[in-house]
Amino acid sequence: MQPYQTIILAVDLTEESNLIAERVRALIGSNPTDLHIVHVIEPLSFAYGGDVPMDLSSVQEQIQDQAKAHLNEFSRQLAVDASHQHLIFGRPENEIHRLAEEHDADLIIVGSHGRHGLALLLGSTANGVLHGAPCDVLAVRVGMA
Amino acid sequence: MQPYQTIILAVDLTEESNLIAERVRALIGSNPTDLHIVHVIEPLSFAYGGDVPMDLSSVQEQIQDQAKAHLNEFSRQLAVDASHQHLIFGRPENEIHRLAEEHDADLIIVGSHGRHGLALLLGSTANGVLHGAPCDVLAVRVGMA
């Protein structure tokens, strides 16, 4: 896939992410590509609208530890090392755009769920990623409706 | 772009379509690809909610003739012959999905207008194309916000 040198792959780390990994591998082929993998966690405080009580903090830490392990495992199958793995807290679309701008990416790849709309990442949608994206966006269809 | 054999390229035939053509050319490279180009015209009757009076019919014919000529001109730069040029009346997202299913396409490419959202084609948006797409969708960013 010649025209894309720097790719941001946003994954929700569900089983479907593995299908996306296969697609990405085929897309990139043997082309030299700077591939970044990002998983965005929405802070619980967003859902609760304020400070996170102590017990939720501990839940958050567990989520983070698990996500980090999953992200690492996922990234290994695409031979992406830790320097290109990004575990970020925030609004998925904002963080994905920010990361794309930071790395001057020319393509963002996200999963799409076909007829179910485009639920992806934690609580966000590919629509959000599309709107305001600083570059091209490839929505890879995973799962059937 | 190895994994995609059959591509539906949806264009609004504005000047920005030429930027998309360049991107598509780079994407396809020397890979054998079945490339279809589609331009969808929304019938005026949709806008007027009923039968089209005679004078609008004649406007519609002019629109169709112009669109056909532009589609042909556009397609030539991608070496796409008449059998793969599709001028269709209807709702853009519906017609693009239908065409993708009919030709068993594995990728739909549409233009995206960055921060302005994704206005594309006549009166439609890439969101509509994304939702319910039977395959992957690549939104190529054209123009600045």
Say how far apart CA A138 and CA A4 lie, in whole Å. Answer: 11
Burial call A86-100: b when 16+ CB within 10 Å, e when fewer: bbebebbbebbbebb
User: What's the confidence (pLDDT) of residue A54?
Assistant: 64
Instruction: Give me the DSSP letters along A80-132.
Output: --GGGEEEEES-HHHHHHHHHHHTT-SEEEEEE-GGG--EETTTEEHHHHHTT
pLDDT in tens, A73-82: 999 999 999 9
Size of chain A, expressed as the number of residues it contains:
145
- Contact between chains at B136 and A141 (C-beta distance less than 8 A): yes
CB A92 within 8 A of CB A124: yes
Q: Is the pLDDT of residue A134 over 50?
A: yes
Point out which residues pair with B138 in neighbouring strands. Answer: A138, B109
Q: Parallel, antiparallel, or unpaired: how do β-strands B85-89 and B107-112 relate?
A: unpaired
User: What tokens does B80 get?
Assistant: 């796409």
Minimum Cα–Cα distance from A23: chain B residue: B3
Interface mutation target, options B93, B96, B110, B136, chain A, most CBs of A under 10 Å = B136
CB B130 within 8 A of CB A127: yes
Cα angle for residues B16, B21, B27 (degrees, 5° grid): 130
Q: Is the pLDDT of residue A117 over 80?
A: no
B111/chain A closest Cα distance in angstroms? 9
How much is the mean pLDDT over chain A? Answer: 81
> How many beta-carbon pairs below 8 A join chains A and B?
77
User: What residues of B are in contact with residue A132 (Cβ under 8 Å)?
Assistant: 114-115, 145
ipTM of the complex: 0.81
Residues 64-123 of B with CB under 8 A from A: 112, 114-115, 117-118
Point out the residue among B134, B138, B145 whose CB comes nearest to the CB of A138.
Answer: B138
User: Which residue in A74, A114, A101, A70 sits closest to A8, CA to CA?
Assistant: A101
CB B10 within 8 A of CB B99: no
- Give the range with max mean pLDDT: A13-17, A51-55, B135-139: B135-139
Q: Parallel, antiparallel, or unpaired: how do β-strands A119-120 and A124-125 relate?
A: antiparallel
B29/chain A closest Cα distance in angstroms? 8
Say how far apart CA B20 and CA A73 lie, in whole Å. Answer: 36
Residues 122-141 of B with CB under 8 A from A: 126-127, 130-141
User: What residues of B are in contact with residue A130 (Cβ under 8 Å)?
Assistant: 112, 118, 126-127, 130, 139
| CA dist list (Å): A143 to A27, A125, B6, B62, B75 | 19, 15, 20, 43, 33
Say how far apart CA A135 and CA B29 lie, in whole Å. Answer: 20
Point out the residue among A2, A27, A117 whose CB comes nearest to the CB of B131.
Answer: A117
Q: Is the pLDDT of residue A42 over 80?
A: no
Domain at A6-141, CATH class = alpha beta
User: What tokens does B16 get?
Assistant: 């920005």
Q: How confident is the model at residue A84 (pLDDT cuts 50, 70, 90)?
A: very high
User: What residues of A are in contact with residue B134 (Cβ under 8 Å)?
Assistant: 114, 141
- Contact between chains at B138 and A141 (C-beta distance less than 8 A): no
Point out the residue among B26, B114, B136 whose CB comes nearest to the CB of A3.
Answer: B26
Q: Is the pLDDT of residue A126 over 90?
A: no
Minimum Cα–Cα distance from A145: chain B residue: B132
Say how far apart CA A131 and CA A114 lie, in whole Å. Answer: 18
Low-confidence stretches of chain B (pLDDT beneath 50) = 1, 114-124, 145
CB B1 within 8 A of CB A1: yes
Cα angle for residues A123, A124, A126 (degrees, 5° grid): 150
| Residue B31: CB atoms within 10 Å | 12
User: What's the confidence (pLDDT) of residue B60?
Assistant: 80
User: What residues of B are in contact with residue A1 (Cβ under 8 Å)?
Assistant: 1, 27
